[in-house]
Chain A
C-alpha cells in the first residue's frame, strides 16, 4: 500500500525556488528588505522598527499575545490568515511571507481624528466596550481577524459558544473578557461579507512559492534548506548552528533571553517534513507539521487523545507555529504532546547521512531535555502504529492535564492513557503515560503490568492503583509541590476509572 497523503502544505516550494535579488517579506502590503538583518531579530521588532507600533511587547515569550499579527499562508489550493506571536517569529523565517498588523485593517484617521469604515472585527471590539487600556487590543484584533477569515481549516473559525478559545492566547488585564468574548461571538458565522473586502479576495490564491533566500546579518546567518539532505549537510558544516522549526521554544531563548547563535538552520521550507500520510506501518506525521495542522489532518475519532490535548497546548498563536518535531526535540518533561505520543506507542524517525532509524518515543527521551538524536541526525517524522484492536474489545483513551490555568499553561501533571479492554471487561493492553513527574515523559510500567488480565473496574484495578502511589519521585517547583504531583499520579487514574470504568 502506497502512502496516501491526507494533508499537504503548500508553502513548501515545489521544485526549484525562484531566484530573487535578496530576502524580503511583505508587511501590510509593502515589501520589507531583510538584507543585512540579524536573523534572530523578532518579527515584532522588525514591524515596530518599520513604523507599525500596534504589536506590543508584553512578555517576549509568546504567552501574552499582545504582539499578535496575522501571516497569510498557503493552504491547499488557497490560503488562510493565521494569528502568530510576532515576538517568537524570527527574521530568518520571514522571506516570502505576508504579514498584517492592526493598522492595515481600517483606513488611517483623518486630521480630526475620525476613522472611516472600521473593519468589522475592530468595530466589534470598539463598540462593545472591548478595550480599556488598549495595549492588548491590537493583538486581540488580529486573533479575531484570522478567525474571521477562517473559511478553510486549520485556523478555526469563531464559535459563538466557545468565543473565549479564539482569544485564549491574548491576555487582557483590564476588561474581564466578557465584552471581548461577546465581540468575538458577534462575529461568529458572519464571515467576510463586505463587498470588495480586500482581505477576503487574497484568500482565493495560494502564496507564491517562497524563495530559499538566506537572511544574514549581525554576525549570524539563517539557512533555509529545501531538502532534508541539504539540511543534513548544513548541519555537518555548521556544528554550532541551531536547528529551528517553528521557533516557539528557541524563540523564547532568543527574544526574551537575548541568546544568539552563529547560524540558524530553518526547517520550515523542507517540503518532505510537511504533511501526514498513512500506510501499513501506521500514520506518519512530518516533523514540521504544526499543531494547528495536526488537528485538522488526523481524525478525532481515531486520535482522541491528540485532539483532546491540542487545545491545551500553548495558545492558538503558538499552535500555528509550533511543530510536532520541534516539540519532541525540546524534550520537555511536561511536553503535553510527548505524553500523548508515549501513550499511543509512537516512534520517531531520525535521519542522518547514513540513513533513517526509527526509535520508540519511550527510548527517545534519555534525560532532562536530552534525546537519543545524535548530533548528525534530524528528527524527520513521528509515526503512530496501526490502532486496530480485536473485535469486541474497546480502547479507553483518556487524557487530562492539570495546570494552574486550563489554557496556555505548562502542565503541573499530565496523564495520557491508552487501555484496551476486551468484551469481558478485562484489560488486555495498557499504556499509562505521565508528564511532570520525572525528568522525562514517562510510563508507569509497573502499574501497566498489574492491569493486564484484570477487570477494568475499581476492584480489578486496585493493585495497579496501589502501584501508582510512589511510582515516581516528582519535584517541587513554582507550579506545585512534589506531594501534589505525587497524589495526582494516582488520583488521575482514579478519575479516569470513575469516568470510563465498567458499571
Chain B
C-alpha cells in the first residue's frame, strides 16, 4: 500500500458532508412511503413487572384509520428477538420493564395510531419489581454465572500488604450510572412487502445481518427470504447494534399481516423509555499500593446491571473485566464479573462497551490508593503505566502490550500540555485571594487510555466485501459495515481508491444490504475500518491481479513484453515503468477486460489473524492491538454551587497512521465530549416504580455547543503506523470516549484543594456523573 498512498492519509471530508449540510441526506425515516403505508404506535406497560391478563383492542379498532392491532397471535414464527439468548419476547405475556410494548397499533398516520394505542385496554396483574442493582445482587438475580480473570495470588499480596508499613490497602464500593445513547435519529424501520410477499426492511441498524435473522425468525422464514438495507444512520453509538432488531421485527410482522408497508419509528420518549442504556455498574474492590508508589494488587468484583434480558451484557461485562486495569500494571489481580438481572430496560452496547466502566473503576481505585498513601495520583499513574514487553508489559489476561506507545504518549502530552508548569499555576491560583473570596478552585489531571481492539467474541472478527469495476472505470464498493456518522464510508473509499490506483471520485460507496454482502458482523467494537477495509483490500487485490494481466497485454508493443507484475495502477492511470510512453487509463483496462471476458467483480473476505481468548482460564490474546491516548484536563469549580467549567483540554491520541485525520480527529473530539457528558451531566433516573423519569432532552442533558472546553488542543500521535492493519491506521471509534475520565479526575483535584492547608484528604468521594450537586457534596465533605 505504502507505494501508492495517495488518497489514504488525506483529510477528505465525510462523503455525506454536502448531503448533510444541504438537508438532502436521506435517512430511513425520510424514505418516501409506499402507497397505503401504515404507521405503528406501541401499547406500553405502566408497570415495571406485570402479567398481561388480557388485551382488548375493540375500541382501538373502532377508530377510523386504525387498520389492525398486532399482538402475539400475529407472530408467524418465533415470538422473540433476543440476539444471543432467546429471552426477549417481542409480544410478552409478562412485562419485565416499565414501558415495555405488549401490542402495536397500525394506522394510516401516527396520530391515529397513537390515539388507537391509548384506547387498547390491557388488564395487568402487577408484581413487585426488582430495580436496585445492590438489592438484585443480594437477591441473587443474575443473567449469567460469574466470569473470572486472575493473575498472581491476590489474597496473599493483600494480606501481606495489610500488615506491612510499606504498603497501604483500601477497599470500597463504587457505583456508576447509566447513559442514554441519544442518537439524534431514534429507532426506525420500514418494512415493505415485495410483489411476491417477501419483505425488504429498511432499518437504522448497526447490524443488518442480525436484523435480517431476527426478522426471519419472527416471520418463521429462512434467512434468504429477508433483505435488510441500511443506507445511513443518524447516530448509533452501539444503541443500534442489537436493539434495532425488535422494531424491524414489528414492522415486518405488520407488513406480513397487512400486505402494506409498515413504518415503526419510536419518538424520543418511547426511544428513551423502551431501549437499553450504557450499563450501570457496581464495583467492590480491595487494592494495595506500596509507599514507593508501585501498585501491588487489585481484587475487584464487577456487577453490571443488565436489565430485563441478557442482550449483549455478557460481552459488555467481559470487556469491562478486560479493561479494569486501564493502562496500569497490577502485579496481582483477580477480577470477577457477572451480569445482574433487574426489571429495567435491557442495557446494551454503548461506545466503549464496558471499557469505560472498567477504566472508571481503575481510576477510582488509583485515586483512592494514592490519597490513602499520601501520594500524588499523577505520580502513581505515571509510575505504573504498562511497559512495552515483559511481565510489566503484559495484561492480567496474558496479552503483551507490544509497544511503548503508552509511555510515549504520556511523556509527549505531559510536555506539550505544559503539565508541570500549569500544575504549579493551578496551585498558586487556588491559594489566591480571588479564589478564596469567590470560593473557586481549579484542578488539573491527566489520565491514560489503553483500549483493546477486536470483538472479544473472536468469531465476529470477520468481514466481507464486493467490489465491482464498471466498464467505464468507475467502481462500486459494497461491504458489510454500516455508516452511522463515524466516517467509515469515506475512509473505506480512500482505501479502495488507493488499492485500485484510481482517484477518489471513481469510487462510489453503496448502501449496506444483506443480499449483497451476507453473514456480516455488527459495525461495532471500533472495528468497521479494520475488518471491512481488510475485505475490500482483498477484493481489490483480486481485481488488480486480473486487470494487471489485461493491462500487460495492452501495454505490450514494439517488441517489449510488459509483465503483469510490473503493471502499476496510479490515480486512474495504468502504466509500466519499462514502457512509460504506453500509458493507458483504468477505464481502458476495464473495457479491455470486459471484451476479453475477464470478471470485473470480486468478493473479498477478511478475518483478524492471531487472536483468541479462553473464557475458562480468563487468558488469551483477545485483541489485535491496543489503541492508546491520554488527556490533560483543567477545570474550575464553584464552591457555592458545585458548578464546573472546562477551562482547557489537551489530548494526544494514537490513531496509527491516520487514514483520514479530519474524520479521526472528529472521532476523538466527539468521543471525548460524549464521555464528558457521561462523567459530568448525563444521568438516567428511575423512580421507585421503575419508570424512567429522564426520557426527553428536557430532563436528560447531553453536552451542548457551549459545554466544550474553552481551550482545546487535539493531536494525533505522529509516526504511528500500526503493522498488520489496513493502511496502518488504528481503530478510533471508541477509545477517545475514555479520555474524558480526565475530567472526573480534574474535578477531584479541584475538590481536594478545598481542604485546609497541610491536611490533604485521604479520600474524595465523587459520584459518576459528577453533577454540580455531587461536586458540592464532595466539597462540603472536605470543608466539613
Contact = CB atoms under 8 A, between A and B. Distances in A.
A180 interface: yes
Contacts of B17: 125-127, 129-131, 134
B772 A402 contact: yes
A256 B696 contact: yes
Interface of A (DSSP majority class)? loop
Q: Counting chain A CB atoms within 10 Å of each CB, which of B111, B232, B706, B712 scores highest?
A: B706
A497 to B, nearest CB: 10
B485 to A, nearest CB: 3
A58 interface: yes
For chain A, the bracket of interface size reads 35 or more
A118 interface: yes
B605 interface: no
Interface stretch (B164-172, B383-391, B669-677): B669-677
A303 interface: no
B22 A499 contact: no
Interface in A76-109: 101-103, 105-106, 108-109
Contacts of A173: 181-184, 235, 237, 670, 674, 702
B371 to A, nearest CB: 25
Given A122-B22, A478-B685, A402 B484 contact: no
A175 B669 CA distance: 6
B490 to A, nearest CB: 11
A324 interface: no
A174 B670 CA distance: 5
Contacts of B772: 402, 404, 412
A499 B705 contact: no
B150 to A, nearest CB: 38
B415 interface: no
Interface in A47-86: 48, 52-61, 63-64, 66
Interface in A317-363: none
B439 A495 contact: yes
A279 interface: no
Contacts of B719: none
Contacts of A54: 22-24
Interface in B274-323: none
A82 B270 CA distance: 31
A14 interface: no
- Best-surrounded residue of A165, A176, A178, A408 (most CB of chain B within 10 A): A176
A361 B21 CA distance: 45
A19 interface: no
A413 B650 CA distance: 33
A138 B185 CA distance: 13
B663 interface: yes
Given A258-B115, A406-B707, A494-B640, A106 B22 contact: yes
Interface in A392-411: 400, 402, 404-410
A56 B28 CA distance: 12
Contacts of A59: 268, 696-698
B232 A133 contact: yes
B699 to A, nearest CB: 5
Contact of A115 (B22, B183, B236, B674): B22
Contacts of A48: 30
Contacts, number: 265
B641 interface: yes
Contacts of B114: 258
Interface residues of B, number: 82
Name, among B11, B666, B776, the residue most crowded by chain A CB atoms within 10 Å (CB to CB): B666
B22 A176 contact: no
A129 B14 contact: yes
Interface stretch (A234-242, A371-379, A441-449, A480-488): A480-488
A258 B111 contact: yes
A54 B269 CA distance: 21
A172 interface: yes
Nearest to A63: B697
B597 interface: no
Nearest to A400: B641
A135 B186 CA distance: 10
Contacts of B706: 164-165, 168, 406-407
Interface in B1-50: 11, 13-14, 16-27, 29-30
B622 interface: no
A181 interface: yes
B392 interface: no
A170 interface: yes
Contact of A405 (B670, B685, B707): B707
Contacts of B771: 404
A133 B235 contact: yes
A179 interface: yes
Interface in B22-80: 22-27, 29-30
B704 interface: yes
A222 interface: no
A126 B339 CA distance: 43
B233 interface: yes
A9 interface: no
A498 B236 CA distance: 46
Interface string B666-700: 10111111100000010101000000011011110
Contact of B21 (A60, A137, A165, A169): A137
Contacts of B186: 58
Given A102-B21, A106-B22, A168 B235 contact: no
Contacts of B182: 171, 173
A131 B707 contact: no
Contacts of B269: 256
Contacts of B13: 126-127, 129
Contacts of B14: 126, 129, 131-132, 134
Interface in A154-178: 163-178
Contacts of B211: none
A433 interface: no
B245 interface: no
B704 A407 contact: yes
Given A141-B21, A405-B681, A488-B641, A175 B666 contact: yes
A136 interface: yes
A491 interface: yes
B604 interface: no
A402 B643 contact: yes
B437 interface: yes
A101 B27 CA distance: 17
B131 to A, nearest CB: 16
A132 B232 CA distance: 11
A468 interface: no
Given A53-B23, A168-B706, A480 B773 contact: yes
A480 to B, nearest CB: 5
B24 A103 contact: yes
Nearest to A183: B21
Interface in B734-784: 771-773, 776-777, 780
Contacts of A63: 696-698
B261 to A, nearest CB: 17
Interface centre among A118, A137, A175 (most CB of B within 10 A): A137
22 contacts: A56-B185, A59-B696, A63-B698, A102-B23, A118-B18, A122-B21, A129-B11, A131-B20, A132-B486, A132-B666, A135-B183, A173-B181, A173-B237, A176-B669, A178-B669, A178-B712, A402-B641, A402-B643, A404-B681, A409-B701, A478-B685, A495-B439
Query: Which 8 A-B pairs have CB atoms at the shortest separation, nearest pair first?
Result: A54-B23, A133-B485, A134-B20, A135-B234, A102-B23, A176-B669, A132-B485, A138-B23
Given A103-B24, A129-B11, A402-B641, 18 more contacts: A58-B186, A63-B696, A102-B22, A109-B18, A127-B17, A133-B20, A133-B236, A134-B17, A137-B20, A138-B22, A163-B705, A165-B705, A176-B666, A404-B772, A484-B777, A488-B640, A494-B439, A499-B438
Interface of A: 48, 52-61, 63-64, 66, 101-103, 105-106, 108-109, 115, 118-119, 121-123, 125-127, 129-138, 141, 163-181, 256, 258, 400, 402, 404-410, 412, 477-481, 484, 487-488, 491-492, 494-495, 498-499
